[in-house]
Amino acid sequence: MSPSQSLVRAAPAAPAGPPEPPGRAERVLPLRRPARWIAGAAVLVLVAQAGHGLLTNPFYQWDRFAYWFLRPVVLDGMWITLQVAAYSALLGLAGGVLLALGRLSGNPVLRSVSWTYVWLLRSVPLIVVLLFLNNLGALYPTLSIGVPFGPAFFTFDASRQATDMVVAVVGLGVVEAAYAAEVVRAGLLSVDQGQHEAAAALGLPRHYQLTRIVFPQALRAIVPAYVNLLIGLVKATSLVFYVSLLDLFGTIQGLGSTYPGDVVPLLLVATVWYVILTSVLSAVQYHVERYCARGALRSLPPTPLQRARAGLDELRGRYRKEAAR
């Protein structure tokens, strides 16, 4: 027998059984996670206990809280808080962008001065800056703009110009600029170097590269961190009470001294108003991040309303499947 005839052919595979009829497929059961349900139940119990104690404890005096919450004196303090926060945020953002560009500049003078400013203002407590500016009129009765060691072009009285609002806005703004500078610088550095090279290869001017190519991409990294700074700024406005500006917290402090029996409900009023302000900023942050995500993601993340609708549709689909069985 020849070697070729001694080869053994592989046996053919056994024929598969008849296909299962439709509807006979086994149902895939989800993985049971008892620990997750136990942890969720424990958290719900703790939340329920905390809410019950918050609502039923007579020490909180919710009737007095409702009385003070929308009083004109409280709303006036809230308006001052909004003004200080808005003006300080604009000043801090503008200063932060300039300082960040100075830190990234090739000019050693701009780079050194920007670094020194950021280092100094981040090292000094905010309350010290506010108190120092509040006494600026005593340190420098007159301020002038002109040639160093030469004639002055403009001279003005610092004690008259440094009002309580100006001191609060400038104090918060200059400190905010130091922190905003690092946020903006980090956002600019997060843009891929290839974007800079591609923009330069196209022959685009430097300011066009920054405003149209680099900065829009950097916003995706700048917005979350900068909104955190804004939330901290809104809460930091409570310190302007020490420079005699009656913002929300200053008004609450004054009312608490006049009505010592309402100290707790007044503190609750301030807490709720600060929570409302920071919640609005968080909502604005979400929509700004969603807007900046265009072009970076294939599909925009769903809004909370869209998520709720999708969840309801999923529950309805499950209910219909269970009812059909």
- 179 has a pLDDT exceeding 90: yes
What is the per-residue pLDDT for 219?
Answer: 83
Q: Bigger pLDDT: 103 or 17? A: 103
Average pLDDT over residues 97-107: 90
CA distances from 309 to 146, 218, 298, 313 (A): 63, 32, 21, 6
What is the per-residue pLDDT for 8?
Answer: 46
Give the chain's largest Cα–Cα span: 120
Q: What is the CA radius of gyration of the chain?
A: 32
Strand segments (E) across the chain: 142-146, 152-157
pLDDT digits (tens, 9 = 90+) for 278-295: 999 888 888 877 777 666
Q: Bigger pLDDT: 309 or 146? A: 309
Contacts of 62 by beta carbon, 8 Å cutoff, 6+ apart? 55, 265
What is the per-residue pLDDT for 52?
Answer: 87
Q: Tell me, what amino acid is at 85? A: A
Nearest to 177, CA basis, from 105, 223, 120: 120
What percentage of the chain exceeds 90 in pLDDT?
Answer: 34
What is the per-residue pLDDT for 4?
Answer: 47
pLDDT digits (tens, 9 = 90+) for 264-279: 999 999 999 999 999 9
DSSP output for 77-124: HHHHHHHHHHHHHHHHHHHHHHHHHHHT-S-HHHHHHHHHHHHHHHHS
pLDDT digits (tens, 9 = 90+) for 22-74: 555 566 666 777 888 899 899 999 999 988 888 888 888 889 999 999 999 99
pTM, full prediction: 0.76
